[in-house]
Amino acid sequence: MTRPSQPRTPVTTGREPGDLMTDHVSGDRMNGDRMSGDPVEEFMKRRKKATINDVASLAQVSKKTVSRVINNSPSVRGETRDLVNDIIARIGFRPDPQARGLAFRKSFLIGLIYDNPNAQYIVNMQMGALDGLRGSGNELVVHPCDWKGEDFLDEIRDFVELQRLSGVIILPPVAEDRNLLALLDELDVPFIRVTARSGDVNDPPIAGLQIVSVDRVGCEQAGEHLVELGHRRIAFIAGNSLYPSAHARRAGFEQGLAKHGLGFAPDLIEQGDYSFDSGFVAASKILSRVDRPTAIICCNDDMAAGAYKVAYELGLRVPDDLTIVGFDDAPIAARLNPALTTVRLPTRDMARTASEKLIGSDAKPGASVVFDSVLIVRGSSGPVPK
Amino acid sequence: MTRPSQPRTPVTTGREPGDLMTDHVSGDRMNGDRMSGDPVEEFMKRRKKATINDVASLAQVSKKTVSRVINNSPSVRGETRDLVNDIIARIGFRPDPQARGLAFRKSFLIGLIYDNPNAQYIVNMQMGALDGLRGSGNELVVHPCDWKGEDFLDEIRDFVELQRLSGVIILPPVAEDRNLLALLDELDVPFIRVTARSGDVNDPPIAGLQIVSVDRVGCEQAGEHLVELGHRRIAFIAGNSLYPSAHARRAGFEQGLAKHGLGFAPDLIEQGDYSFDSGFVAASKILSRVDRPTAIICCNDDMAAGAYKVAYELGLRVPDDLTIVGFDDAPIAARLNPALTTVRLPTRDMARTASEKLIGSDAKPGASVVFDSVLIVRGSSGPVPK
DNA sequence: TTACTTAATGACACCGGTTACCATATAAGC
DNA sequence: GCTTATATGGTAACCGGTGTCATTAAGTAA
């Protein structure tokens, strides 16, 4: 535990009068000539935020060496490193992100870019992103935006450039914007997009790591589930076609039915936009027909809630008169009566993975991490009525 | 538009060779001796982020003067200011928040501190906070935390101190933590708390501006509403008593009933914690009694959803057999069948006001801005059954 | 006219870290 | 034993802004 024979020249050491070191040979515990024992303790009494300079002067090395220790530079002798780390721990030094950022030209801020902030999956993903960032020294800056807005791209450019973001996470549906991806590429900021694998097996490769959900799997299960319950005349409420999830889900549901030689009733396919209201409207059309279906598949839970409302108003009982299936397993799914059969996606985990990959920077462009969806059977799906 | 007679000494001007100024008297448009016209245009070709130094050299003033212009210092001559502003606009200069923050010792980041990130009001308030910050040059850093956790305070201290936050917004229920408020006070960071006025008329004064909701008003209306519908035997599911809102709401409901000489059925008061599950449990107890009430008042919508579920399972029709009332007007309120009668609070506006006040810094400690709640009557409340 | 203010601006150090480059000291090669 | 590699640490400049103080020119009082 003895300190190394001091390697520094005693001349022009740049010591100020206020410095805390004893002259000459020193040694850790033999400098008790002043009553106030430890220079470190002395320092702590000042109750001021420690800087790299404090560490340097207490450890009697240059700030550059401290910097090396902080950044795990290999060219620091083990003893020196231990000494510096010890001081750092004792005075509770933590490098200032602002100063560090200024020098590094990055901010240690991760931007979370998304549209429609109300959706439940956004909330989940925000939590997940925070999960992944925790303890990493990065903070999350949320940035809802108006995709499709006039100067969407300019606004993002400003945000990323001005804040010198360390990374960006893009959530659906914004994550589909090729122009945005190109912009981020141009700005040379690491980014990760969260998206749903579309129906096409081979999407064109794209910059940045992708976190991909396979909505299809759970949907397929859901489709089969309905057929097994005996349903033959099945309606469908589609999601906003700007979302790849809308296509992936539809493809999944259809494939589930197709496995048994079935498909959606062609006259009972309605376009929705993932909103409760659109679900209500679509279900109204569907259920007002004389030969109404025995089941409705909705591209998400919110639209399913709209279908519930229509059924309620028409006096149809779920699932006795009508089976309803959703997607998301949003909180509302369990709160509907009866609880909604739906498909669950690990949205929070997906976003956590996104931020972990982002800061871990093992984000090889083009690579992707895949998450599967799974069917959750609850009370809204039942055997076809006689 | 002629420039002022140059006030700077021509000696030791610190000009570097690369500088763009013409010597001597100059004059704006007579320096076309080189073919490449405008120095500004020349600069723009470089496609690099402009710094204050660029502005200074193009405007031929010191960076300090540019700084003065940026910060609206009064001691800049009008013409100089115009000149500098013109250059700034033309080259699109925007001061770097990092550098600025380093010098100012603050980060232009606003921290949003909250617990239970799932609650809908948190989502609304986050949006509101962003509304208020938009265009101000501040960004929002979200920081969910484990209130009641082991080292909650230490964690907040780290966050605020390390990031040198420009301000903090605290949402319920964390906003009730006196120790937290004291800490923020000690850290000398501006903060605003969003809270519900408790039942007491005179809460002890507290540091920081408060955004206060008056939950009571709408609850009182709700209470009266039920009495007017003929209800006499009314159950109550209380909210988490750590939240002042729980007390404020209860007081409001009770006062509404009291106006007509009524009160909750003493044997039908159950404790909930604002969660769906707790609402379900509480309502189960309430509705399993032989002399069950004709109405249940729930301290929030999520617990009301729990009550709906119990009613559904027991085969009770709402509102024919049972009236249910909630609080929050969360999205689920309109999605329940029938739609839930509830009390609405302008949560988004509250948070927007919070961030506006925070950056406007007209946040006199002790002052408060008050928002009223209002009853929203929907299908879940009906006349008492015969 | 001289001296004293005041307004406007600039020079320079500083915020707290970093990189680039140079200077040692020790280890290795002949 | 002396020169050359290599590890280690120091110095200065820089990132892009700010504060402090000095300086200049113009305005005013004596």
* List of residues 6+ apart from B246 with CB closer than 8 A: B238, B239, B240, B274, B299
Q: Which residue is associated with the tokens 């109550």?
A: B236
Determine, for residues A331 and B118 on separate chains, whether the beta-carbon distance falls below 8 Å.
yes
Dist CA A343 CA A220 (whole Å): 10
Using an 8 Å CB-CB cutoff, list chain B residues near A140.
Answer: 141-142
* List of residues 6+ apart from A362 with CB closer than 8 A: none
* List of residues 6+ apart from B370 with CB closer than 8 A: B197, B212, B213, B214
**pLDDT surpasses 80 at A201:** no
Q: Which nucleotides of D are covered by protein (CB under 7 A)?
A: 7-12, 14-20, 23-26
User: What are the CB-based long-range contacts (under 8 Å, 24+) for B123-127?
Assistant: B123/A117, B123/A118, B123/A123, B124/B347, B124/B348, B124/B351, B125/B171, B125/B194, B125/B347, B125/B348, B125/B350, B125/B351, B125/B354, B126/A117, B126/A142, B126/B351, B127/A117, B127/A144, B127/B348, B127/B351
Looking up residue A62, the CATH number of its domain turns out to be 1.10.260.40
Instruction: Using a pLDDT cut of 90, give the percent of chain B over it.
Output: 75
Query: What's the confidence (pLDDT) of residue A202?
Result: 53
Query: What's the confidence (pLDDT) of residue B198?
Result: 60
Can you give the C-alpha Rg of chain A in angstroms?
30
**pLDDT surpasses 80 at A381:** yes
**pLDDT surpasses 60 at B263:** yes
Could you tell me how far CA A205 lies from the centroid of its own chain? 21
Among the candidates B95, B128, B163, a domain finishes at B95
Q: What is the average per-residue pLDDT within A200-223?
A: 79
How would residue A363 be classed by pLDDT, with cut points 50, 70 and 90? low
Task: Judge if A247 and A296 occupy the same domain.
Answer: yes
User: Would you call the peptide bond into A338 cis, given omega within 30 degrees of 0 as the criterion?
Assistant: yes
Task: Judge if B80 and B184 occupy the same domain.
Answer: no
Task: Judge if A188 and A259 occupy the same domain.
Answer: no
Q: Which residue is associated with the tokens 């509907």?
A: A336
**Cα distances (Å, whole numbers) of residue B198 to B204, B241, B329:** 11, 11, 20
Q: What is the average per-residue pLDDT within B205-218?
A: 81
B144 touches chain A (CB under 8 A): yes
CB B210 within 8 A of CB B365: no
**pLDDT surpasses 70 at A252:** yes
**pLDDT surpasses 60 at A176:** yes
Task: Judge if B222 and B127 occupy the same domain.
Answer: no
Residue A373 structure tokens:
């969806």
Instruction: Using a pLDDT cut of 70, give the percent of chain B over it.
Output: 86
Dist CA A175 CA A244 (whole Å): 10
**Å between B89 CA and D18 C1'?**
21
Mean pLDDT of chain B: 86
Task: Judge if B195 and B223 occupy the same domain.
Answer: no
CB B370 within 8 A of CB B214: yes
Query: What's the confidence (pLDDT) of residue B3?
Result: 36
**pLDDT surpasses 80 at B18:** no
How would residue A204 be classed by pLDDT, with cut points 50, 70 and 90? low
CA distance A336 to chain B (A): 7
CB B250 within 8 A of CB B196: no
A21 against B76, higher pLDDT: B76
A126 touches chain B (CB under 8 A): yes
Dist CA B124 CA B118 (whole Å): 11
B378 touches chain A (CB under 8 A): no
CA distance A96 to chain B (A): 6
CB burial of B185-208 (b: ≥16 within 10 Å; e: otherwise) equals eeeebbbbbbbbbbbeeeeeebeb
How would residue B362 be classed by pLDDT, with cut points 50, 70 and 90? low
Asked if residue A329 belongs to a domain, the reply is: yes
Task: Judge if A219 and A334 occupy the same domain.
Answer: yes
Asked if residue A76 belongs to a domain, the reply is: yes
Amino acid making up residue B173? P
Pairing relationship of beta strands A295-298 and A269-271 according to DSSP bridges: unpaired
Determine, for residues A96 and B139 on separate chains, whether the beta-carbon distance falls below 8 Å.
no
A123 touches chain B (CB under 8 A): yes
Nearest of B315, B283, B288, B309 to residue B298 by alpha carbon: B283
**pLDDT surpasses 70 at A134:** yes
Task: Judge if A175 and A85 occupy the same domain.
Answer: no
Query: What's the confidence (pLDDT) of residue B41?
Result: 75
Domains identified in chain A, total number: 3
Dist CA A246 CA A91 (whole Å): 54
Task: Judge if B287 and B144 occupy the same domain.
Answer: no
Asked if residue B383 belongs to a domain, the reply is: no
Lowest mean pLDDT among A26-35, B66-75, B295-304: A26-35
Asked if residue B386 belongs to a domain, the reply is: no
How would residue B184 be classed by pLDDT, with cut points 50, 70 and 90? very high
Can you give the C-alpha Rg of chain B in angstroms?
30
Could you tell me how far CA B341 lies from the centroid of its own chain? 26
Q: What is the average per-residue pLDDT within B354-374?
A: 82
**pLDDT surpasses 80 at A6:** no
Asked if residue A81 belongs to a domain, the reply is: yes
Task: Judge if A221 and A285 occupy the same domain.
Answer: yes
Query: Which residue lies nearest C14, CA-to-C1' measured?
Result: B103
Query: What's the confidence (pLDDT) of residue A335?
Result: 98
CB A251 within 8 A of CB A216: yes
The SS3 of residue A241 is coil
**pLDDT surpasses 50 at B20:** no
Which chain A residue lies closest to B302 (C-alpha atoms)? A335
How would residue B27 be classed by pLDDT, with cut points 50, 70 and 90? very low
* List of residues 6+ apart from A190 with CB closer than 8 A: A166, A167, A168, A208, A358, A361, A363
Task: Judge if B131 and B15 occupy the same domain.
Answer: no
Does B309 contact strand D, using a CB cutoff of 7 Å? no
Residue A58 structure tokens:
């207490």
Q: Give residue-wise pLDDT tens across range A31-79.
A: 333 445 666 677 777 778 899 999 998 998 988 999 999 998 888 888 8
Looking up residue A183, the CATH number of its domain turns out to be 3.40.50.2300
Q: What is the average per-residue pLDDT within B351-362?
A: 88
Q: What is the average per-residue pLDDT within B151-166?
A: 95
Determine, for residues B98 and A101 on separate chains, whether the beta-carbon distance falls below 8 Å.
yes
Query: What's the confidence (pLDDT) of residue A189?
Result: 93
Q: Give residue-wise pLDDT tens across range A143-157.
A: 999 999 989 999 999
Dist CA B251 CA B244 (whole Å): 11
Determine, for residues A312 and B94 on separate chains, whether the beta-carbon distance falls below 8 Å.
no
Q: Give residue-wise pLDDT tens across range A260-294.
A: 999 999 999 999 999 999 999 999 999 999 999 99
Query: What's the confidence (pLDDT) of residue A275?
Result: 96
Q: Give residue-wise pLDDT tens across range B78-134.
A: 999 999 999 999 999 999 999 999 999 999 999 999 998 889 999 999 999 999 999
**pLDDT surpasses 70 at B353:** yes
How would residue B46 be classed by pLDDT, with cut points 50, 70 and 90? confident
Q: Which residue is associated with the tokens 């400690």?
A: B365
Phi-psi sector, B54: left (phi>0), alpha (psi -120 to 50), beta: alpha
CB A186 within 8 A of CB A207: no
Task: Judge if A169 and A253 occupy the same domain.
Answer: no
Residue A269, domain extent = 215-347
**Cα distances (Å, whole numbers) of residue B107 to A92, A134, B100, B102:** 21, 20, 8, 7
Asked if residue A234 belongs to a domain, the reply is: yes
The SS3 of residue A19 is coil
B346 touches chain A (CB under 8 A): no
Dist CA A304 CA A155 (whole Å): 35
For chain A, where are the E strands, in sequence order? 109-114, 139-144, 167-170, 191-196, 209-214, 234-238, 269-271, 295-298, 323-325, 342-344, 368-372, 374-376
Model pTM? 0.88
Neighbours of B35 (CB within 10 A): 5
Among the candidates A74, A95, A116, a domain finishes at A95
Does B95 contact strand D, using a CB cutoff of 7 Å? yes
Q: Give residue-wise pLDDT tens across range B52-74.
A: 999 999 999 999 999 999 999 99
Q: What is the average per-residue pLDDT within B344-357?
A: 95
**pLDDT surpasses 60 at B183:** yes
Dist CA A294 CA B244 (whole Å): 48
Using an 8 Å CB-CB cutoff, list chain B residues near A312.
Answer: 337-338
Task: Judge if A85 and A144 occupy the same domain.
Answer: no
Backbone angles phi, psi at B292, to 5 degrees: -75, 155
Asked if residue B100 belongs to a domain, the reply is: no
Asked if residue B377 belongs to a domain, the reply is: no
Mean pLDDT of chain A: 86
Query: What's the confidence (pLDDT) of residue B300?
Result: 97
* List of residues 6+ apart from A178 with CB closer than 8 A: A206
